[in-house]
Chains A and B, each alone.
Chain A
């Protein structure tokens, strides 16, 4: 993604959709069209609105879509974007039923569309483009790639990383099933020329962190990684705010993630405040 990426906003006339459209435009994101059924022909912040994605793609070249549609209708919005041939779809909406997510993620994958989210803050390439709801002022251009399962914690860590700055920051979402997994983003960062080091902000539940550790151990990821896991004190089988932050069957505990990182020689920050110190040592080496 870069400053040339042409973006469609689905659910552009809603409260969240219109507010974040103006924030993204302010940042310089190239938003070319919006969609809200029944609102075709109107405009939001000077962006033309269409009734369907199909109508929007007929009039504009579109590379990516961002979805602010309410949970009950969000799945349909994803299918609509995939069927219209859009290759990158970011789903901000939270509270979509897990089975529905599993189905649309599979559908999109089979048709070559990448989904980020759902229940995610989106992504930002500082100085280039914002595709999401991240508050732009806490990000600056730099060399650290940050990937996170959490929203606000990402802002906090980006802020703490300070003058090292970020190449790209991606919030992949806090749901149990998501379109783009941690290990996929880490592999992209490993290939990315603008990224020197990678920060993973993980949390209890699932085994994505363990998978990254495995890749690192096998030498399939070359760049240095710093890990942080939220949920040291979380009780088992209690859902900690995120739909995905829950340990079932003892899978994806805090301990198993930390253990996996240690075995792969990935330094682990005990608190978000240690991330910067560890990074400074790595990047300046």
Chain B
């Protein structure tokens, strides 16, 4: 679960990472002096889009930004500083340990930066002075111990899968997190119910829906197969509009709601469904597709094979839904229509 900046900063405070003084508002307010008005959105690139503004007129600025459809703002004190650093923490997939990612330059596009180094901290011991030393030496600033410790606590105690500070400002009074990007591990939310309550966030239902740019809706069973289907649509000249993996062993209800979800996206003109039934039974899938088809009424191209496929095909054909033996033909027909 991705957190808003102000929610991430709330977490930062809990683990003693210093953040600027600020308040969250949902309507224009007057604040004395120079402040930073930051639109609270889950997407990145706010700065580039002009959605973060330094101003002496908080009221007017918020009024203006509200016209762009933004409804939550973080107003923070303006903090003068001399330099910026990048710091983040996540689990290292290769070694299974938490790691700190650091750069002497903040505000950078980390994916493209060459000045980035990772520091693995073994999970079975606590953070040591020499770990901190190595990181401080690399970024060229002393006094990061508390921040690094806080980031690691977010990973190990709060189950964050990413905790990022970009930039971390170096001020007269030490480091200060100017921004936050925190993503919590959905699978661990059950042990942070108190925190969710405090943030007034609901546990998100686990589904894999991802929105894309094109006009072909994609439903499959299994992440790999669904991704492969999406890639095939692209390779064959189409454009995927979204992605939804119904998961293993999906029943009628689950399939129906998945197809309706994808089909309700107004960008979707047609839907490609790719099912390889193993644990999943094709007759269950077919019933779900029929149910959804009645509601969304967009062309559906189904590739259906595996457990109980004959029953499944009969169900679909009796409703006039095209059903195919292999995915290539199904996608080909969908793209030509």
- A residues with CB within 8 A of B: 16, 71-72, 95-103, 105-106, 121, 133-135, 138, 148-156, 159, 174, 176-177, 181, 201, 203-204, 206-208, 211, 230-236, 238-245, 248-250, 270-273
Given A97-B188, A240-B227, A250-B111, the answer on whether A233 and B234 have CB atoms closer than 8 Å is: yes
Residue of B at shortest CB range from A206? B93
Residue of A at shortest CB range from B221? A152
Q: Which of B156, B190, B225, B230 contacts A233 (CB 8 A)?
A: B230
Is B97 a contact of A102 with CB atoms below 8 Å? yes
Residue of B at shortest CB range from A109? B96
Query: Which residues 135-194 of B have a CB within 8 angstroms of A?
Result: 155-156, 159, 161-162, 185-188, 190-191
- Residues of chain B within 8 A (CB-CB) of A239 are 208, 210
Give me 16 A-to-B residue pairs in the complex whose CB atoms sit less than 8 angstroms apart, sorted by A's number.
A97-B159, A98-B159, A99-B185, A101-B96, A138-B306, A148-B224, A150-B223, A155-B278, A204-B227, A230-B224, A230-B228, A234-B227, A235-B212, A240-B227, A241-B222, A241-B243
**Nearest chain B CB to A17 CB, angstrom units:** 13
The answer for the CA separation of A133 and B277 in the assembled complex, in Å, is 12
Is A152 a contact of B278 with CB atoms below 8 Å? yes
Q: Assess whether B68 is interfacial by the CB under 8 Å rule.
A: no
The answer for the CA separation of A238 and B183 in the assembled complex, in Å, is 12
Is B248 a contact of A151 with CB atoms below 8 Å? yes
**Nearest chain A CB to B121 CB, angstrom units:** 12
Is A248 a contact of B225 with CB atoms below 8 Å? no
Q: Which of B162, B208, B307 contacts A240 (CB 8 A)?
A: B208
Query: Which residues 240-292 of B have a CB within 8 angstroms of A?
Result: 240, 243, 245, 248-249, 276-279
Identify whether the interface residues of A are mostly helix, strand, loop, or mixed. Answer: loop
Is B162 a contact of A97 with CB atoms below 8 Å? no
- B residues with CB within 8 A of A: 90-91, 93-94, 96-97, 101, 110-112, 116, 123-124, 155-156, 159, 161-162, 185-188, 190-191, 206, 208, 210, 212, 220-228, 230-235, 240, 243, 245, 248-249, 276-279, 306-307, 328
Is A103 a contact of B123 with CB atoms below 8 Å? yes
**Nearest chain B CB to A284 CB, angstrom units:** 24
The answer for the CA separation of A211 and B227 in the assembled complex, in Å, is 22
Instruction: Kindly list 20 other residue pairs between chains A and B, CB separation below 8 angstroms, not including A16-B249, A230-B231.
Output: A95-B206, A98-B91, A98-B187, A133-B279, A138-B306, A150-B222, A152-B276, A156-B276, A176-B91, A203-B227, A204-B227, A232-B235, A234-B230, A235-B210, A238-B210, A241-B208, A241-B223, A250-B112, A272-B228, A273-B328
The answer for the CA separation of A267 and B218 in the assembled complex, in Å, is 28
The answer for the CA separation of A270 and B112 in the assembled complex, in Å, is 26
Is A151 a contact of B111 with CB atoms below 8 Å? no
**Nearest chain B CB to A211 CB, angstrom units:** 8
**Nearest chain B CB to A178 CB, angstrom units:** 9
Given A151-B278, A230-B228, A233-B212, the answer on whether A99 and B223 have CB atoms closer than 8 Å is: no
Among B123, B185, B220, B225, residue most surrounded by chain A Cβ atoms (within 10 Å): B225
Is B279 a contact of A135 with CB atoms below 8 Å? yes
**Nearest chain B CB to A89 CB, angstrom units:** 16
- Residues of chain A within 8 A (CB-CB) of B110 are 249-250
Is A99 a contact of B231 with CB atoms below 8 Å? no
Pick the 8 closest A-B CB pairs, nearest first: A150-B224, A241-B223, A152-B222, A153-B224, A250-B111, A135-B278, A97-B188, A241-B245
**Nearest chain A CB to B285 CB, angstrom units:** 12
Is B93 a contact of A152 with CB atoms below 8 Å? no
Is B232 a contact of A174 with CB atoms below 8 Å? no
The answer for the CA separation of A101 and B141 in the assembled complex, in Å, is 34
- Residues of chain B within 8 A (CB-CB) of A231 are 227, 231
Given A97-B188, A151-B224, the answer on whether A233 and B240 have CB atoms closer than 8 Å is: yes
The answer for the CA separation of A233 and B116 in the assembled complex, in Å, is 27
The answer for the CA separation of A201 and B230 in the assembled complex, in Å, is 16
Is B224 a contact of A203 with CB atoms below 8 Å? yes
- Residues of chain B within 8 A (CB-CB) of A135 are 277-279, 306-307
Is A248 a contact of B220 with CB atoms below 8 Å? no
**Nearest chain B CB to A175 CB, angstrom units:** 9
- Residues of chain A within 8 A (CB-CB) of B97 are 102
- Residues of chain A within 8 A (CB-CB) of B224 are 148-154, 174, 201, 203, 230, 241-242
Q: Which of B91, B124, B276 contacts A177 (CB 8 A)?
A: B91
**Nearest chain B CB to A69 CB, angstrom units:** 14
The answer for the CA separation of A244 and B225 in the assembled complex, in Å, is 15
- Residues of chain B within 8 A (CB-CB) of A174 are 223-224
**Nearest chain A CB to B88 CB, angstrom units:** 8
The answer for the CA separation of A156 and B220 in the assembled complex, in Å, is 12
The answer for the CA separation of A97 and B160 in the assembled complex, in Å, is 10
The answer for the CA separation of A105 and B243 in the assembled complex, in Å, is 31
- Residues of chain B within 8 A (CB-CB) of A233 are 212, 230-231, 233-234, 240
- Residues of chain A within 8 A (CB-CB) of B161 are 98, 176
Residue of B at shortest CB range from A233? B234
- Residues of chain B within 8 A (CB-CB) of A235 are 210, 212
- Residues of chain A within 8 A (CB-CB) of B243 are 234, 240-241
- Residues of chain B within 8 A (CB-CB) of A99 are 91, 155-156, 159, 185, 188
**Nearest chain A CB to B109 CB, angstrom units:** 9
